[in-house]
Amino acid sequence: MENSFIIQIDHLTKRFPVGKGYFTALKDISLSFGRGEFAGLVGPSGSGKTTMLNIMGSLDSPSQGTARVMGQSVSELSHKDSARLRNRHIGFIFQTFNLLPVYTVFDNVEFALLLQKIPSARRKKMVMDALEWVGLTDKAHSRPNMLSGGESQRVAIARAIVKKPEILLADEPTANLDAENSHHILRTMQKLNEQLKTTFLFATHDEKVMQYLKRKISLRDGRVEKDEVAETINL
């Protein structure tokens, strides 16, 4: 049973130094996520959602407890192994899209594949496939500053999904989008989750996102308040 989880959080606590003391962002959290989940960490600002996502993305490490991602303990990974874990198994989607402005849409999506040293012809096919999933093949040679917010976020999704990672972490992915674009993006993610069996984990306080989640983990003041499976899913 334990082996089917791709993320296992066990009694995790995270503290940040503030002045002479510490601020505890996460307190004794234990959670597990299996393959193909479409789950979200929800809660108000300061509840610890992003911190949790960062630890699961191996961008940060726990102060206490363990976080195992793809069977590897995040706090025991070297910088290099941590980078490899992110490059091979984890995709990120950010609130502010974080596209590289000097590159074209194609280059942005291709970037992660370059790090994996995938041959050029295969890389091109993978990029075009990813752009097709998000409906942006016609924008392949545009630069990010020529895209709308919705299009930018779809490029970010394509960039995250192009390497077919097991886990996709999305931090407030709809915060900078209008309602229509938000639903479009979420439906795209839902479709990818079903087709690719990628585990999607969101950090959000957006009601629109919550409608789509199959599992909702409510955080408050760094603690898990509720962990519930949704009864009806917005499709």
Partner 1 sequence: MGAGLRTWLNVGVLSFAFVVIIFYNGMIDGWNRQARHDTRGWEVGAGQLWHPEYDRYDPFSFEEAHAELSPDMQPLIKRDVLVPVLLEQATMYPQGRMQGVVLKGIRADQKLLKLPTGALKSKDDGVLIGKRMARSARLQTGDRLLVRWRDKNGTFDAREFTIARIFDSNVPTIDNGQIWLSLERLQEMTGKVNEATYLVASDAYEPTDKGIWEFKDLDYLLADLDAIIQSKKGGGMIGYILLLIIALLAIFDTQVLSVFRRQREIGTYIALGMTRWQVVKIFTVEGSAHSILAALLATVYGIPLFLYLDHTGLSFAMAENTDITIADTIYPYYSLGLIVSTVVLVVVSATVVSYLPARKITKMKPTDALKGKLQ
80 binds partner 1 (CB under 8 A): yes
Burial of residue 59 (CB within 10 Å: 0-12, 13-18, 19+) is middle
88 binds partner 1 (CB under 8 A): yes
Q: What is the 3-state secondary structure (H, E, C) of 132-150?
A: HHCCCHHHCCCCHHHCCHH
List the one residue from 40, 43, 48, 57 that touches partner 1 (CB under 8 A): 57
List the one residue from 54, 75, 182, 190 that touches partner 1 (CB under 8 A): 54
Beta strands at 64-69 and 5-18: parallel, antiparallel or unpaired: antiparallel
List the one residue from 68, 159, 183, 216 that touches partner 1 (CB under 8 A): 159
Applying CB under 8 A, the span of 66-74, 77-85, 181-189, 196-204 interacting with partner 1 comes to 77-85
Secondary structure class of 112 (helix, strand, coil): helix
79 binds partner 1 (CB under 8 A): yes
Task: Tell how far CA 219 is from the center of its chain.
Answer: 17
60 binds partner 1 (CB under 8 A): yes
Tokens of 35: 């393959």
200 binds partner 1 (CB under 8 A): no
**CB contact set of 127 (below 8 Å; sequence gap of 6+):** 106, 109, 110, 113, 140, 158, 162
Measured between alpha carbons, how far is 39 from 33 in angstroms, rounded to an integer?
8
List the one residue from 22, 35, 96, 120 that touches partner 1 (CB under 8 A): 96
Q: How far is the CB of 108 from partner 1 (least distance, A)?
A: 10
Site string (98-127) toward partner 1, x via CB under 8 A: x-x----------xx--x------------
24 binds partner 1 (CB under 8 A): no
Cβ proximity to partner 1: between 106 and 212 the closer is 106
Q: How far is the CB of 132 from partner 1 (least distance, A)?
A: 21
Identify the residue whose tokens are 């874990």. 85
Cβ proximity to partner 1: between 57 and 62 the closer is 57
Chain residues in the site for partner 1 (CB under 8 A): 54, 57, 59-60, 79-80, 83-84, 86-88, 92, 94, 96, 98, 100, 111-112, 115, 159
